Amino acid sequence: MTRVRILTITIIFIGLVFFSNDIKDMYGETQEFSNLPKAEAADPSIDARSLYNNKCMKCHGQMGTQKVPATGLELAGQAKEVLMAKINGYKELRYGGKLRGVMSSQVSGLTPQEVNAISEYLSKLK
């Protein structure tokens, strides 16, 4: 029994090492998010707070401060344009780490106006 347990722990540990390296590589590319053109102001008729609370809060925390797994990044306080680029990247399957499938399905139904409004809301949370 002990041997099985040690083996399991070793496998999980090796898995974690691989997993975190992979994430780091993917997120090493975040520099490409500098010099983004300034986004238009959000449509005031969209209730971004409710949208966020309904669709995102359970994983990202009430104030957007829950750290994203394995990256340590919080959503709150990131620049609006960067958040928009990342969310659109998930929508179009060209951004993210190992868990990007989880995110893509969360944001695939958002309209461009909703992406803009949620990003503005999050950028001002901190």
> At residue 68, what is the residue type?
V
Nearer of residues 7 and 19 to ligand HEC, judged by Cβ: 19
- 42 to 71, contacts with ligand HEC by CB under 6 A? 55-56, 58-60, 68-69, 71
Judged by CB, which is closer to ligand HEC: 42, or 107? 107
**How remote is the C-alpha of 101 from its chain's centroid?**
11
Q: Please report whether residue 96 would count as binding ligand HEC according to CB under 6 A.
A: yes
CA pair distance 35, 63, nearest whole angstrom: 26
Give min distance, CB of 99 to ligand HEC, in A: 3
CA 106, 24, 121, 126 dihedral sign is positive
Assess 75 for contact with ligand HEC (CB under 6 A): yes
Q: Is 20 exposed, middle or buried (0-12, 13-18, 19+ CB in 10 A)?
A: middle
With CB under 6 A as the contact rule, the residue among 42, 48, 76, 87 that binds ligand HEC is: 87
Half-sphere exposure of 38 (CA within 13 A, CB side): 2
Residues at the site binding ligand HEC, with contacts judged by CB under 6 A: 55-56, 58-60, 68-69, 71, 73, 75, 83, 86-87, 96-100, 102-103, 106-107, 118
